[in-house]
């Protein structure tokens, strides 16, 4: 019989604790902002992509899309005729996950391209904000200021010499 360690002593190292704290803070922020107007555009885009996924699944299974509506109360409906319903029905949730993955991928690629452009600018001009910014990040890590970027910057390819 295995004894369960309910106190979780020694379960997490520093990176895991920072990750858990970041997820917790993100969750609290989203819950606090959920009913505000700040997240409404993102929720409406999500509903649109959900309904678009139903429509695409319908067309891919040889059905016809008769209409698609996205309502201001964050609801939506896609009217279809024909097609394979057991593929069309789950397509909204699966499609939303796919669209989220796709957007996140391009967001990360865009950030990498942005850093590359700033690096090129700082190498060939007198503009050196990236260099000094990374030195500040490095210093904050050396004097143990906890922040969520710590996980990303511990990747071995980031070597910032002084």
List, for residues 12-42, the tens digit of each pLDDT value. 777 888 888 889 999 999 899 988 888 888 8
Residues 133 and 69: their CA atoms lie apart, in Å, by 46
Which band of pLDDT confidence, cut at 50, 70 and 90, is reported for residue 51?
A: very high
pLDDT of residue 161: 44
pLDDT of residue 159: 43
Give the residue-averaged pLDDT of 54-82.
Answer: 92
Question: Where do the structural domains in the chain lie, given as residue ranges?
Answer: 14-101
Look up the pTM and report it.
0.61
């Amino acid at each position: 019989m295995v004894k369960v360690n309910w106190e979780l002593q020694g379960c997490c190292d520093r990176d895991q604790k920072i990750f858990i704290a970041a997820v917790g803070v993100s969750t609290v922020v989203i819950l606090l902002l959920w009913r505000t107007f700040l997240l409404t555009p993102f929720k409406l885009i999500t509903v649109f992509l959900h309904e678009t996924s139903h429509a695409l699944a319908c067309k891919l299974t040889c059905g016809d899309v008769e209409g698609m509506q996205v309502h201001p109360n964050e609801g939506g409906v896609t009217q279809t005729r024909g097609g394979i319903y057991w593929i069309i029905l789950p397509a909204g949730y699966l499609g939303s996950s796919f669209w989220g993955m796709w957007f996140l991928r391009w967001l990360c690629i865009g950030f990498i391209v942005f850093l590359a452009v700033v690096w090129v600018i700082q190498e060939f001009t007198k503009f050196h904000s990236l260099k000094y910014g990374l030195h500040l990040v490095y210093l904050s890590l050396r004097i143990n200021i906890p922040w969520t970027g710590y996980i990303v910057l511990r990747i071995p390819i980031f070597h910032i010499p002084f």
